[in-house]
Amino acid sequence: MKAFLILEDGHVFTGTSIGSQKEVISEIVFNTSMTGYLEVLTDPSYAGQAVCMTYPLIGNYGICYDDQESLRPWPDGYIVRELSRLPSNFRCQDTIQNFLKKFDIPGIAGIDTRALTKILREKGTMNGMITTNENYHLDEIIPKLKAYNTGKVVEKVTCSEKSVLKGEGFKVALLDLGAKNNIARSLNERGCEVTIYPALTTAEEILAANPDGIMLSNGPGDPKECVSIIKEIKKLYDSNVPIFAICLGHQLMALATGADTHKMKYGHRGGNHPVKDLATGRVYISSQNHGYVVDTDTLDPNVAVPAFVNVNDGTNEGLKYVGKNIFTVQFHPEACPGPQDSGYLFDRFLEMMGGNK
């Protein structure tokens, strides 16, 4: 069946429908990862977005449910050049086509994803519609596309109740803003007992449990939408508990301490982004997924200083908080999908909590 991707600037791409055949309006973004499409699909940070994969062949090793980063996929839509018809891998349990249908996610295959990516790079991220309706009318659709926004998606993706990963070492409170599974797993593998809290949990409840450290996770959407969460994070900042934050958590900590964030032209999404540690000068290859960034011009140098910078465009990739056991990064050291270069940051977090128990 034919499918159409319609952008808010009037561009129309024609391809083949994959997954569900429902119609969807979403923010259109692209990801440059060559592998790890299941981890991308199940990353809660993609809630409210339709993802275009720049790598031309997707689905060649099928679906392995053990590799999911959450219980379900979160993108509104999926866009690929070619979808593999015959996946081949000894761990393969399903196909992407069936996976998308199972979770009612529409997609489109067979379009020129390079052309789409160039449009998004030149004009910036924009909204779009995936539809199988051949009788569409642009003059009716484009106003709807321009009016769309992702809204408050953190509440949509966070866990519904508190849970615990048992461990014999440090007790870490993980605030789930849309956390990938491997964040808790990376801490648990280092011996930590991880208590995972829903995003709207109060600072008082978290601190009452007397954690050795607090982890703020990744998550979707505009950080400025998280007004009540930012207020609670400010209370966590005012405590003396060591804090490590990733991605959205990094942005929310900056907002909680007086800095500002802004939307990027097309964001960073992929497993191949170079970041430089300003303390050592060493460059790491990182996994990233974000459309907003901390504005370093608004930082109070008495509160926080830049710790990492993106080598490609010079944007902020991490902060060290002055006089506090707090550091935050924009990228994903848990690295699923992506390299494991920056996994040492979890070890640094353990050192902040007092070394190894």
Is 45 annotated in a binding site? The answer is yes
Catalytic residues: 247, 332, 334
Q: What angle do CA 88, 94, 98 make, to 5 degrees?
A: 125
310 is in an annotated binding site: no
Q: 312: annotated binding-site residue?
A: no
Q: What are the strands of the beta sheet with 163-165, ordered from one edge?
A: 163-165, 193-198, 171-176, 213-216, 243-246, 326-329, 316-321, 304-310, 260-277, 283-295
Pairwise CA distance, residues 37 & 221, whole Å: 20
Residue 251 marked in a binding site: yes
In sequence order, what DSSP letters do the residues of 244-302 get, joined into one string? Answer: EEETHHHHHHHHHTT-EEEEEEEEEEEEEEEEEETTT--EEEEEEEEEEEEEGGG--TT
> The tokens 């529409």 sit on which residue?
106
* Distance in angstroms (rounded) separating the CA atoms of residues 128 and 162: 36
Residue 228, marked binder = no
Q: Which residues pair with 53 in a beta bridge?
A: 31
Give the C-alpha separation, 228 to 248, whole Å. Answer: 14
> Does 286 belong to an annotated binding site?
no
Q: Which residues are annotated as a binding site?
A: 45, 219, 221, 248, 251, 289, 291-292
Q: Which residues are annotated as a binding site for L-glutamine?
A: 45, 219, 221, 248, 251, 289, 291-292
